[in-house]
Amino acid sequence: MAFELPALPYAKDALEPHITANTLDFHHGKHHNTYVVNLNNLTKDSPMAGQSLEEIIKATAGDASKAGVFNNAAQVWNHTFYWNCMKPGGGGAPTGDLADKINAAFGSYEKFCEEFKNACVTQFGSGWGWLVAEGGALKITKTANADTPLAHGQTALLTCDVWEHAYYLDFQNRRPDYVQAFLDNLVNWDFVAQNLASA
């Protein structure tokens, strides 16, 4: 069964003015789609063609001979997860159990934002900033290139894509402004809460 590019969970212009339809045309329609096409080409006629993205990522993580498969599978997964981490009219502080857990782990929502933004901004080159659950604790991490918490036994709760193609058309080199806009206006805390509940 070939992998397919998942549809965005909102209209292409729904995240404007923070992330424009132009950015999503390229980021979803070109970059994400290329990873899907590459993964299908790399796994065609192999046992991996019938596996889930998660199974492929876990089976190929750390195997240099399968780096191409890992990179493309992980990027398909990371991007699909990232789209769901955002919604129109999102952002701001979470509520309920999630808010309590963030306050307990980081001291306050403001402190969480500071640490999450720092992880995103200081990720050298391409990569991702993450809020993850590991061993019952919430942590902020960052990964380079295609790397993903799935490969490290962590449960992803939230991610911000800091590859330049995620923000350059809208923010140019101002990565800190993009991450701030993500936190203030885009985060889908309902999705994060669902991930935490199933962690």
Q: What local confidence, expressed as pLDDT, does residue 199 receive?
A: 86
Tell me the per-residue pLDDT of 112-133, one tens digit each, with 9 for 90 and over. Answer: 999 999 999 999 999 999 999 9
- Give percent of the chain above pLDDT 70: 99
Location of structure tokens 């080199």: 173
Report the alpha-carbon distance of residue 60 to residue 9 in Å, rounded.
28
Closest alpha carbon to 195 in 122, 142, 146, 130: 130
- Average of per-residue pLDDT values in the chain: 97
Across the range 19-40, mean pLDDT stands at 98
Residue 137 burial (CB count, 10 A): 10
Supply the pTM of this predicted model.
Answer: 0.97
Over the range 159-181, which residues count as b (16 or more CB within 10 Å of their CB) and which as e? bbbbbeebbbbbbeeebeebbbb
Domains and CATH numbers, the chain: 21-84 (1.10.287.990), 96-197 (3.55.40.20)
